[in-house]
Every structure is written in structure tokens, then in C-alpha cells.
Structure 1
């Protein structure tokens, strides 16, 4: 695994925009027209964003959307296909969790689709638990919502 450089930025970063275009293309290929109902929830502006670079090329991203004073929603988590299964998603999640703790945030929530068992598995390995659907996902049977309580001792560790 090459060392991934993690950079804190915001959602206006051009590399973030490029990576999320790839993410959207994958989601539309996987879910088809059904994905359109989620697109409006994926608009993120000026939120705290982390981008992962290998050899100056952006390969991963994720961002935090403030939901309440101590709760963020993990959004737009993505690792480029040719860099998957190398631990980069876990490293990215660690960086996002550490940023939350620095900001005094103690709860991270997320939504993913039932059609993404690899994402569900990753989040469960990283300490997230399935919870009731929240916000715009209430009543949506294709959504899987998850939650994790954050403390400096519960940030994600790489499992071998």
C-alpha cells in the first residue's frame, strides 16, 4: 500500500468535485433511476472535507455535514476503484473521525444503500452500528442508516 497523503479542505476543492462525479457515476450505474431520489441529499456546500492523494493524484474523499451541535453525517465517502481493498477507506475514515473529535463532535451518522454490502461491511468493521433511518431516509426501505459514538479511544483502527 502506497502512503496516502490526507488533506483537510472544503467541498469547493476541485479534486473533491472530480471524485464525487466518479462516485455519482458509480451510484447511477448501480442503482439506475432509483439513485435520482438520493441526489438531492448529496449536495454538500463548504463542509469539512478530507481528500486522499497518492503521488499527487486524488484517489479518495469523504466529508462531514453538521446535523446538530455534536452530530455530523458522513457524506460522499469514495475511494477510486483501482485503489480499493488497500486500507485507504479506513485511513480516510480515521482522519474524518479525528477531525470530529477535535471539533468536539461525538456522534457520526451515515446513510448507505442496501445495494452496497461492501460499504455496510466496512462501516460495521469500523465500529458503526445499524440504527433507525433518520431525516430524509425515514421510511426508505433501500437505505441503511448507521451510527457511531466517537471518543478519542473509539476512533477507527485498521483491522487486519
Structure 2
């Protein structure tokens, strides 16, 4: 059974999964890892979703304010042995709901083109590709996405 909880970046399970994520990304990003790593810190992150399967921390994700209408999805990760169970989709949906509850209109995110599973997840969950936003402008390996959460009133 999958249980989702709202928490913060000080959650010990989140800290552990983020370390695992950083190790995974160092392998995937290769020589580009130092560039990406500078944008993958917990500063500014106040909203974390943890996914537990039968009490075991299986995945995580977070949102942080990008601008007054936009939250940026950060630190999405599912432990490899828990992949394929829909955990990442559930985390993403919970993050979007939380952003909506906080009156944000859209979510944006960046991932690497080599993270093919992540790219597929974002397409599957209704995210549309957009031009790379700062600080990823001009970075060939980056692909950026957005999803509109609340339509602005006219």
C-alpha cells in the first residue's frame, strides 16, 4: 500500500532519498553533473511529498516557488526497485494539488534528456515541453516542461 505524506526538506527519509538521487544523477549526467548539481539543493524548498510503501520510503518529490504564479517541481525520485508501480505519478499529482491549494497557477520542471523514464512520466501526466527557462537556457541536455493548474480569470 502506498501512503503519501506532506513534509519538509528536513525529513530524514527525504534527505536519504535525495542523496540516492544525486548519486544516480552523477552517473547519468557525467561531465555535466557539476552544472546541474548547483541547482539541485534544498534551499528554497519548503514543500515535500514522501511516498511510503508499507512504511518504507520509496519515493519523493518537492515544489519550490519559481515566481508568484509558478511552482517548480524538484527532487523527483523513486527507488529503482519501486519503479513501475505508479509512485512517481502519485507524488507528482500530490505536488500539483498542493501547488493549487497554495494558489499557484502552473508547475514547471527541468529534467535531462538522458532521463528517458522521467521524460516519459512528464508527457504521460500532461506536461508540455516549453523553451528552457533560466537557468537552463541554452543547455542542450535539458528539457523543460509545464502544466497549467489553474486558469486565470479573464
Tell me whether the two structures share a fold, i.e. TM-score over 0.5. Answer: yes
1:143 is displaced (CA, Å) by: 0.3
Cα distance in structure 2, aligned partners of 1:64 and 1:101: 11
1:69 is displaced (CA, Å) by: 1.4
Q: Deviations over 1:54-113 (max 9, x none)?
A: 122111000001011120100000000000011111111111111111111111000000
> What residue is the counterpart of 1:108 in the other structure?
107
Aligned positions of 1:1-160 closer than 5 A? 3-45=1-43, 46-151=45-150
Q: Deviations over 1:36-66 (max 9, x none)?
A: 1111100123420000011221110000010
SS at match of 2:38: helix
Cα distance in structure 1, aligned partners of 2:109 and 2:92: 12
Cα distance in structure 2, aligned partners of 1:4 and 1:130: 29
RMSD: 1.2
Q: Deviations over 1:104-129 (max 9, x none)?
A: 11110000001112111110110000
TM score, norm. by length of structure 2:
0.93
Contact 1:44 1:65 (8 Å CA) reproduced: no
Cα distance in structure 1, aligned partners of 2:103 and 2:29: 36
The runs of 5 or more residues in structure 2 that have no matched partner are none
Count, aligned residues: 150
1:151 is displaced (CA, Å) by: 3.7
1:33 is displaced (CA, Å) by: 2.6
